[in-house]
Amino acid sequence: MKWEKEKFYDFIIENKVIGFFDEPLELKSGRKSYFYVNWRNIAEDVYLIDKLSDFLISFVEKLGLIPDCFYGVPEGATKIGIITQYKWAKIQKNYNHGIYPLSMGRAKPKQHGDPKDRFFLGIPRGNVVILEDVTTTGSSLIQTINKLFDNNIKIIAAIGLTNRNEIRDDNKSVEEVLKDKDLKYYAMSNAIELLPKVYDLLKPGEKIARHIEDYFKKYGIKEIKFLKT
């Protein structure tokens, strides 16, 4: 499968991964948002997550990455990490016993046992690509990366299914923070590109448009415009 961004964006929109609220929702970051990005419906459906893993593998191939292990940030990207790792390993020429780990992180550490087993069900090894479903301020992603680094695990890239394109409270983007760690972040989709497409389709109204424009003035890596002034 060849990576085609527009087909991936169509997949996102058709399956209502991104949309609008009539009233704002408070995010984990404390910010109040009139739009959502939620991959849960995809992760709960075998057919859809199979399609998503195909998109992800084609994206990784386009980037020229050759990972030994896909590892999903617990718990939002756990399923896509496991399924993509299984499918990726099966198509490799050197697929055999002991070569490709099947790794899963614990959302909460186990209170006893080997230190590594406290955090992992299957320890990531080799060249690791870390996956996140939705990137906002990147706190979960960065915590997971630090945990992997603490266990001397080599990460070759971080990939987000959707980047909300927001600036953190330290006025840095997630890309900038990871660059400081000598780690490249790639987004398969971006809110700034997706939101106008969804707005034109759903037409949620001027109120929501203004709120989201104001949101990106305050938190966005750049401003977004729905309405002509």
Q: Is the pLDDT of residue 120 over 90?
A: no
Q: Are 39 and 159 in contact (CB under 8 A)?
A: no
Q: Is the pLDDT of residue 122 over 70?
A: yes
Measured at the alpha carbon of residue 64, what is the angle toward residues 62 and 70, in degrees to the nearest 5? 95
> What's the whole-number mean pLDDT along residues 92-112?
88
- Residue 227 belongs to a domain: no
Helix pair 206-219, 191-202: axis angle to 10 deg: 170
Tens-digit pLDDT profile for residues 143-179: 999 999 988 999 999 999 999 999 999 999 999 999 9
Q: Are 105 and 78 in contact (CB under 8 A)?
A: yes
Q: Are 70 and 109 in contact (CB under 8 A)?
A: no
Compare 122 and 86 and report the one with higher pLDDT.
Answer: 86
Q: Which residues contact 35 (CB under 8 A, 6 or more apart)?
A: 18, 19, 20, 21, 191, 195, 208, 212
Q: Which domain holds residue 43?
A: 5-219
- Residue 154 belongs to a domain: yes
Kindly write down the DSSP assignment for every residue of 59-107, as one continuous string: HHHHHT---SEEEEPTTTTHHHHHHHHHHHHHTSTT--TTTS---EE-S
- Residue 66 belongs to a domain: yes
- Residue 229 belongs to a domain: no
Distance from chain centroid for Cα 224: 21
- Residue 64 belongs to a domain: yes
Tens-digit pLDDT profile for residues 201-226: 999 999 999 999 999 999 999 999 98
Give the total number of structural domains in the chain: 1
Q: Are 70 and 105 in contact (CB under 8 A)?
A: no
- Residue 225 belongs to a domain: no
Give the CATH number of the domain where residue 30 resides.
3.40.50.2020
Tens-digit pLDDT profile for residues 71-100: 999 988 999 999 999 999 999 999 999 999
- Residue 137 belongs to a domain: yes
Choice among 15-24, 102-111, 126-135, 156-165 with the minimum mean pLDDT: 102-111
- Residue 197 belongs to a domain: yes
| Residue whose C-alpha is closest to residue 164's, from 208, 194, 129 | 194
